[in-house]
Structure 1
Amino acid sequence: MARKYIDCREFPSEMHCTVAISADSDSELLEAAVQHAVSVHHHADSPELRGQLSQLFHDGTPPVATPRAG
């Protein structure tokens, strides 16, 4: 099982979020990412949000240095 992550630093926002989340499964990562998007970024939990977030997953672990914005 390969580690995966999603990194808010790739997406500039007014709040300058620096959170990166990693997990060993897509489902666990998706649930954590949705919780973060809803509670911190005030997105609505929807199938569209879940689909968008899952497209942003990367293999491995988040880099220490800030990644370039997407």
Structure 2
Amino acid sequence: MTRKYIDCREVPSDKNCSVALSADSEDELLEAAVQHAVSVHQHADSPELRSQLKSFFHDGTPPVERG
């Protein structure tokens, strides 16, 4: 199983968020990413949000520096 990650630095935002999340499963990563998007970025949990977040998933672990 390949580890997955999402990196907030890739998404334009007024908060300049530097959080990166990783997990061993896509489902686990999605739940953590949704919680972060809702609590920190004030997004509403919706099928559209979940789909958009999944589009930012990568295999591996987040890089130390923004690419």
How many correspondences in the alignment? 67
Q: How many angstroms apart in 2 are the aligned matches of 1:41 and 1:9?
A: 13
Which runs of at least 4 in structure 1 moved beyond 4 Å after TM superposition?
none
The TM-score normalised by the length of structure 1 is 0.92
Which structure: greater helix fraction? 2
The TM-score normalised by the length of structure 2 is 0.96
Identity %: 75
Give ranges in structure 1 of 5+ residues lacking alignment.
none
Residues 37-56 of structure 1 aligned to structure 2 (within 5 Å): 37-56=37-56
Measure how far apart 1:12 and its partner are: 2.5
RMSD of equivalent CA atoms: 0.7
Give ranges in structure 2 of 5+ residues lacking alignment.
none
